[in-house]
Structure 1
Amino acid sequence: MKIQPQHVVSLTYDLYVKKEDGTEGLQESATQEQPLTFLFGAGQMIPKFEEELSTLSTGDTYDFHIQAAEAYGEFDEEAVANLPKEMFQGQEMPQIGEVLPLQDNNGNRFQGQVVSINEDSVIVDLNHPMAGQDLHFKGEILNVRPATPEELSHGHAHGPDGHHAH
């Protein structure tokens, strides 16, 4: 079956990114035993990722690159926050490298990685961990099926067969 909006796609993928020495390294994978299953066209995936898959059908393999700007964005040197240490009163001080769940004044949730700690503040990098990375995806389309009415109303897939795992 061909991939189209309001269909659930299950696929395998290997995601490669450039390492510091210029070679590609495997970043993450989805296997046949644990595929990535998602509702196509629901805005859950990188738009360019869906665009690349949009002509494929069950059984097709794929191999494509997505530039950083069309993936998680370029690395933004300005995307750094100074959090006052008072924010952490009564709890353990975060460690460098730790990823903190944060929320802005509008209630938007995001994550920031602690890059340094000084006398009165904790410095957090708000860039997505994959910002600035060109992505290279390889994989196979395992299954394409129409979404169930329940999946469409929830806006996401409920697993390869349309049911929540229990």
Structure 2
Amino acid sequence: MTFLKLALGLGLIWFIFAFLLVIHEYGHAWAMRRLGMRVDRIVIGTGPVLFRTGEDEFRLLPLIGMAISKDYAKASLEARAVAAAAGPAASLLLGLFLLLAYWLMPAWATLIAAKASLLLAAINLIPLPPFDGFTIVEASLARRGLRIDEGQRRQLFAIGIGTMVLLTLVL
């Protein structure tokens, strides 16, 4: 019985993380479409592909996600910043909605989902690549005439990946 409870609990947590990533990535995709970018594919998770539905690809471990568009690189920095901000905005709105739901009808899964959604929004606002916050800051710097060259971008990316690994280990 204990093994069954553990398996169900882990399955529920897996489902929550996958759901939160879907909302986050669809936030990006929604903004991209509104800005005239074609969304080629949405990837939820990493590891082996579990299944595909149209433009969506669901993988085994719901730890990362991507809304992929060939038009993204050609878009203005401002448009990319809006698309980048839409993912954390969707996560923030979902987290606040789930907190309200928890307040109205307490359930541990709702609280976990609310906290995880708010954490997903906050982490993605870190101003380092590959996080969404970097794209937002990069557009803000460009408006002030400051550009990040390729060497700086590579260094920041390495720091960002290190930050991602550290956060994964700590959280």
TM-score, with length taken from structure 2: 0.21
Between structures 1 and 2, the one with greater strand share: 1
Select the structure of larger CA radius of gyration.
1
TM-score, with length taken from structure 1: 0.22
